Amino acid sequence: MTETRYPKIPPYKTGPFGKCPRCGQGHMFKGFLTIRDKCDVCDLDYSFADPADGPAFFVICFGCVPSVALAIWIEIAYTAPYWVHLFTSLPFLLLTCIPPLRPLKGWLVASEFFYKAGEGRLANPQSPAGEPGRPVKETG
């Protein structure tokens, strides 16, 4: 059985475009934010992918905060009625929060693959390196 070697592709070249972080060809998503089980080209298993709330955190920091600041500025500067916010603040909020979620999630998944990030494990100092073990109790 021959093992195919893939070049290391930086996360910014695959993730934001929803491409497989290993081959750069297959699709990572099967819906808007749902990650596939595996790549449809190179069969990379995406079970390692767990960006958790990372994309939402970045969107809140860089999308929602400016949107809310704009809404507050419109309210203070113009004492705007609700319908003005309906046609200005709400669309701006939706446009700065929803579209960036997918590219950010793709980038985070690709970064996890590229940097071999994984869930932290405690290792027992008496066990061989790399083997998960139980934490050692300190005595004394």
Exposure letters 102-115 (e unless 16+ CB within 10 A, then b): bebbbbbbbbbbbe
Higher pLDDT, 20 or 118: 20
- Tell whether the model's pLDDT for residue 123 goes beyond 90: no
Listed range (65-69, 86-90, 116-120) with the worst mean pLDDT: 116-120
Domain assignment present for 128: no
Q: Which helix (H) or strand (E) holds 66?
A: helix 65-78
Q: Total domain count for the chain?
A: 1
Name the average pLDDT for the chain: 88
Stated pTM of the model = 0.79
Judged against a pLDDT cut of 90, whether residue 36 lies above it is answered with: yes
Distance separating alpha carbons of residues 44 and 12, to the nearest angstrom? 18
Report yes or no on 68 lying in a domain: yes
Residue 93 domain flag: yes
In a domain, 41, yes or no: yes
pLDDT for residue 124: 65
- Give the domain range for residue 47: 11-114
How does pLDDT run across 40-85, given as a tens digit for each residue?
Answer: 999 999 999 989 899 999 999 999 999 999 999 999 999 999 999 9
CA–CA separation, 106 and 90 (whole Å): 26
Domain annotation covers residue 123: no
Judge whether 19 lies within some domain: yes
Does residue 134 register a pLDDT over 80? no
The pLDDT-based confidence of 121 (bands split at 50, 70, 90) is confident
